Structure 1
Amino acid sequence: MSLGALRPSPLVEQATERLRDQITSGEWAVGTKLPGETTLAKSLGVGRSTVREALRALAGAGLVQARQGSGVFVIATEPQEGWSTQLRQAAITDVYEVRMLLEVEAAQLAAQRRTDDDLDVLNAALARRREAATGSDAEFVDTDIALHATVVAAAHNPVLTGLFTEFVPVLRRGLIDLVALLDLRSGDPNHGDDGHTALVDAVTRGDSEAAGRTLREELKQTLALLQSL
């Protein structure tokens, strides 16, 4: 079977896509042993290292499995959904409930661990949020999320930071829609400033209980609005 030579770059991505197509189309059924690396490399017009990386990506997607001494076998014809895909497809209210659990804990840790540099960044983020009150809904939401991101970063836990980063695209879309649909900024262009100021103050004082409580109340109010849509 000839798969057709690939363009020079990006080779790994192209090789992965071509092999995935062979599997998801049913040309290589579940249980099929794939050709060896040398054969695949020749068919695709790439090196064995490129094939190896492509097979590793397919294994990560749950499509193939390497069996020691036997080769690589197809174990599924549909890729497993990754975390990012699940988030994109999830209801914004479900994402927000998880956000509350994650971010309240992050705020409490931030109050305990924040450095002077963190406080400078926090206050700058709060100032940018206030400045964005004269801008568009998208600009305002972006500065709001950026402020929350600085609080999470001040917790100095890379796992929390990574999880929050995964949430951002879904949160951004949901919050922009919320602000627009409910016209939240018509009477108060800087909607939520008091709560965000109190949050920054609590982190600055090192009051973890107040930081968690303040953020929990803010997020609960937003979740209630989302549930009302």
Structure 2
Amino acid sequence: MADWLNEKAPIARKNAAEVVFEDLRGSILSGQVPVGSRLPSEEKLARTYGVSRPIIREAMRSLQTLGLTRSRSGSGSFVISTQQRSELAYGDISARDLDEARPHIEIPAAGWAALRRDAAQVRELLHLCDQMDAHVDSLKWVQMDSDFHTLIAAASQNALFARIVSESRDAMMQQSELVNLLAHRRVASNDEHRRIAQAIAAGSEADARAAMADHLDLVKKAIARITQA
């Protein structure tokens, strides 16, 4: 373990989470870091890779989602497998459950948002699209992605849709992190988000529903490719 970590060098800030994640995942899948090993602390990994602790935290969450590591309270993270599991989970919400539920909530929410949104919500949706286009920082992008979907649920003026999306935020952010790290969908997602926002701005229920359905379907397919890899 010590030799493995000593070989690492600080990495460039751009796409830092992706680089850290791929390096850690590769070390685990290759057996270089065997099952039962305790990974170094966030602080030590951050110092070794030359990145912030939130970047390390993002990479570690995705390793857990893939079933490669498990966090033990007060003890750290341990390698539990050198093979990715086929059934992913975001905390206590399975990937299957999230994929099945989102279309039944977010597609109608987008349609209602097109009919019920106010001018301030339209401005904020389009502003978030501009911000996501401009940001390369993965942590900030994931937060804005979450804000985007939460705002649409709020704009639907359906309290139940808004509550479910809000309560699912952590799982949706973990899904977004994983898809960004493994499927490289950020640019495509930006285009899909803008289509959704423009349909809502235009007041087109049908177009908003169709754009959200396309987006969620592509995310689901990306997750399926990750689990089959």
Relative to the length of structure 1, the TM-score reads 0.56
Aligned-pair distance for 1:130? 1.6
**CA offsets, 1:33-59, max 9 Å, x none?**
xxxxxxxxxxxxxxxxxxxxxxxxxxx
Aligned-pair distance for 1:150? 1.4
How far, CA to CA, are the matches of 2:180 and 2:90 in structure 1? 21
- Secondary structure, aligned partner of 1:140: helix
**CA offsets, 1:181-225, max 9 Å, x none?**
23x05xxx6332221111111101110001000110110010011
- Secondary structure, aligned partner of 2:157: coil
Is 2:198 aligned against 1:197? no
How far, CA to CA, are the matches of 1:87 and 1:194 in structure 2? 25
How far, CA to CA, are the matches of 2:167 and 2:90 in structure 1? 8
How far, CA to CA, are the matches of 1:127 and 1:227 in structure 2? 29
Largest Rg, 1 or 2: 1
Aligned to 2:159: 158
Aligned to 1:141: 142
Aligned to 2:110: 107
- Please tell me whether the aligned partners of residues 107 and 151 of structure 1 are also in contact (alpha carbons under 8 angstroms): yes
Aligned-pair distance for 1:178? 2.1
Aligned to 1:60: none
Aligned to 1:221: 218
Aligned to 1:98: 101
Is 2:153 aligned against 1:121? no
**CA offsets, 1:135-185, max 9 Å, x none?**
1x2222221121111111111122211110111101111221221123x05
**CA offsets, 1:53-96, max 9 Å, x none?**
xxxxxxxxxxxxxxxxxxxxxxxxxxxxxxxxx98323123212
Structural RMSD (CA): 1.9
- Secondary structure, aligned partner of 2:156: coil
**CA offsets, 1:82-115, max 9 Å, x none?**
xxxx983231232122012100010000001011
Matches of residues 36-47 of structure 1 in structure 2 within 5 Å? Answer: none
Aligned to 1:211: 208
The amino acid across from 2:156 in the alignment is A
After superposing on structure 2, the runs of 4+ consecutive aligned residues of structure 1 that deviate more than 3 Å are none
- Secondary structure, aligned partner of 1:220: helix
How far, CA to CA, are the matches of 2:132 and 2:150 in structure 1? 12
How far, CA to CA, are the matches of 1:154 and 1:163 in structure 2? 14
Q: What is the aligned-residue identity percentage?
A: 19
